[in-house]
Amino acid sequence: MKPNVSDVLLELSGLVARNAAPDIPPADRAGALGLTAALLAMASRTWDDAAHQLVIENRALRKLLHLEGDESDFRISALTAENARLRANLIDCHIAAEARDPELEAAIWTELVVSTERRLTQGSPV
């Protein structure tokens, strides 16, 4: 998810602290904290799953693209950077497959569908 969850949590902690001040107008406080609560709930739901889904997806993409990769760093930031590298490769591979490899193109579409299932959020409209 962009912006990164860790960056957003840090920003929200400051926002909550600012809204703890007694002179904040109630309507402003309600607006700020209502959305903050919604974002915290979304962050909590991705927390446990985030690294697992990135590892699964990165392995699937390496297999599809016949690429090697480093799996020594399992921090979410490192896994996300590797995911971005692989998905950039996937775009190039998809363009090439559209021109001359229907079987590979179909496999890429299948992976793209699965990638959205990995990223499903609660209450997603689609």
**Binding flag, residue 126, another protein (CB under 8 A):** yes
Burial class (CB in 10 A: 0-12, 13-18, 19+), 39: middle
Q: Are 60 and 111 spatial neighbours (Cβ–Cβ below 8 Å)? A: yes
In the complex with another protein, which residue's Cβ is closer, 41 or 71? Answer: 41
Is residue 53 at the binding interface for another protein, with CB under 8 A as the rule?
Answer: no
Distance CA 8, CA 65 (A): 32
**Is 88 one of the binding residues for another protein (CB under 8 A)?**
yes
Kindly tell me which residue out of 6, 18, 38, 52 binds another protein, with binding defined by CB under 8 A: 38
Is residue 10 part of the contact set for another protein (CB under 8 A)? no
**In one letter, which amino acid is 62?**
R
Within residues 90-119, the interface with another protein by CB under 8 A covers: 90-91, 94-95, 98, 108-109, 112-113, 115-116, 119
| Residue-by-residue DSSP string for 42-108 | HHHHHHTTHHHHHHHHHHHHHHHHT-----S--SHHHHHHHHHHHHHHHHHHHHHHHHH-HHHHHHH
Q: Which amino acid is at 115?
A: S
Taking CB under 8 A as the criterion, the residue among 42, 50, 64, 76 binding another protein is: 42
Contacting positions for another protein (CB under 8 A): 1-3, 7-8, 11-12, 15, 25, 27-28, 30-32, 34-36, 38-39, 42, 80, 83-84, 87-88, 90-91, 94-95, 98, 108-109, 112-113, 115-116, 119-121, 123-126
